[in-house]
Structure 1
């Protein structure tokens, strides 16, 4: 199990990369392991990098890595970490999925960082588990896998599955592993060495607080925007939002104009369109289903609003000609 102190040393860790993986979480896993070895003056961990077929693999930032080998070269009893990135919903390499299922049947500890959780879900390895994924990918993940319990935490450890949200959350995930296996003192020394202090806990939120994101701390406005964010599929009317906040509609308008320089209706629309863009780029949902998931009852109205905001239609966003709209909607 993840964090088991009884493992023989060194503990082998195999990072499995897919095309367009995100490099930052990968290095955020490896460097703490390296430092744990150096600071303890022991070989506590070893690590290897793999692609499905052993070929060089390119990250989302254009950097290409030469792996240590393919899936068959992964050391026996290694803990496996699947490293995702962009466009994982389009990944269809059955070799990896079949290999992961085989490892799961053997009782291997399997984890994921960044959007790797989506790959584990596609392989059926998160059924009955709690996981997390990068906040930007959560809407699409929830739509595709409604029965999987996904949180907004930095990382989650559930028995022999563990997931990290991406970016520097991978640091906290690996530091928690080091702490569980070799003590808080060593984990803190590693964190201090990489100027990462304090070590964050799994339940901490990935995103900034809402007041920090919008640059305003007005409590009623924060409550209203939270209501908006929680009701994108079935939008609430401005009059209802105002009434629940104890404001008049005119006061609500003034509040949004003062802090966000737009009307509440406009801000709400932008939230829905941003969610729509995430679903278009990160899922295989049809355009009409994306529209419905974001509170648009009319596909034509959705397309008109989307084009006005992003200067392209939802079909162009997907790289589809507009002539394919009827087929897509069907």
Structure 2
């Protein structure tokens, strides 16, 4: 795509947004401008307060204005990106949702990085659309917005809806968009400048592979753990896991003890409790709903296991809020 004027981006910075994905997106555009010697992209920063936005790490970013100060973009190639972070549910205020809907009506491409997809979903902008969100927020988002076709990829480009999962995924999304605008040669130059040695596509998964995450390269162990992670709501018995992997229950026990210093049962329990903790902190699901979604049929058993793992009851954990 060739434009006489720079393509305009507007970044909506929510309270306690995550700095890294925002900075990655901005830097990709800055380096694009630098590489060609003129401005391919312009950007402006806005927030509900209109003065300063504070990142989750405490860094303060000066804004160009508030929602009421800057009207919606008039150009058909304009892009609006919501930058989310901690407690993003609170960022989905009525003024923010109304402003986003106004941008949608103007014809702008609407996107989000990190947890900003939550705000778009609250505005109804992802209904029936493909999207992604940071893996830590995936389960809570899926429960809250079943109408969204949620993926675990680093980014998703669904026409005029774009979402990136957070971290460095915003770089990959921006390189993808810049390639569409100006070609792969420019993108290669930008990635080289950023020391971004592997440009990921929308087919790449957010998380490290299981062997890399657990620090063990054992195919059957990775296979069993993958089955566990895919069956948290209805746990599979160790005997069945072993049989499906072509080994005895005793062999499975030895495998987990040798490489992970815990039994398969304990590892599975820890994985289910981690999911429960994410749901507690990120959704308004009731305790029984969280328990059932994490494979516990009894709230009392869930509470007992949770306290043994985290040193606090689920009720108290939710009361502390996100950190």
Which digits, 9 at most, give the CA deviation of each residue in 1:39-97, with x for residues without a partner? 10111111111002313221100111121001231543331000000111233411011
- In structure 2, list runs of 5 or more residues that go unmatched: none
Q: Structure 2-normalised TM-score?
A: 0.95
Pair 1:213 & 2:209 matched: no
Instruction: State the alpha-carbon separation in 2 of the partners of residues 233 and 142 from structure 1.
Output: 13
Residues 2, 182 of structure 2: 8 Å contact kept: no
Q: CA deviation at 1:7?
A: 4.5
Question: 2:37 pairs with 41, 49, 55, which one?
Answer: 41
How large is the Cα RMSD of the aligned pairs?
1.3
Per-residue CA shift, 1:177-210, capped at 9, x if unaligned? Answer: 1111111111111111111123221211111111
Aligned residue for 1:115? 115
| Equivalence for 1:253 | 253
Listed as ranges, the matches of 1:153-192 within 5 Å are 153-192=153-192
Following the alignment from structure 1 to structure 2, what is the Cα–Cα distance between the partners of residues 49 and 190? 22
Runs (4 or more) in structure 1 with deviation over 6 Å come to none
The answer for the alignment partner of 1:13 in structure 2 is 9
2:89 paired residue number = 89
Q: How far, CA to CA, are the matches of 1:317 and 1:55 in structure 2?
A: 33
- In the alignment, is residue 292 of structure 1 matched against residue 292 of structure 2? yes
Q: Distance in 1 between matches of 2:105 and 2:291?
A: 39
Whether the 8 Å CA contact 1:89–1:284 is kept in 2: the answer is no
Q: Which residue of 2 aligns with 1:312?
A: 312
TM-superposition CA deviations, 1:10-53 (whole Å, max 9, x none): 11101001111000011101111111111101111111110023
Cα distance in structure 2, aligned partners of 1:253 and 1:113: 41
2: distance between equivalents of 1:92 and 1:71?
13
Secondary structure of the corresponding residue to residue 319 of structure 2: coil
Aligned with 1:55 (options 26, 51, 64): 51
Q: Secondary structure at the match of 2:280?
A: helix
Residue correspondence of structure 1 range 127-276 to structure 2 within 5 A: 127-276=127-276
Where does residue 26 of structure 2 map in the other structure? Answer: 30
Partner deviation per Cα, 1:265-321 (whole Å, 9 max, x = no partner): 00000000000111111111112211110011111111110001000011111117x
Instruction: Tell me the number of residue pairs that the alignment of Structure 1 and Structure 2 aligns.
Output: 316
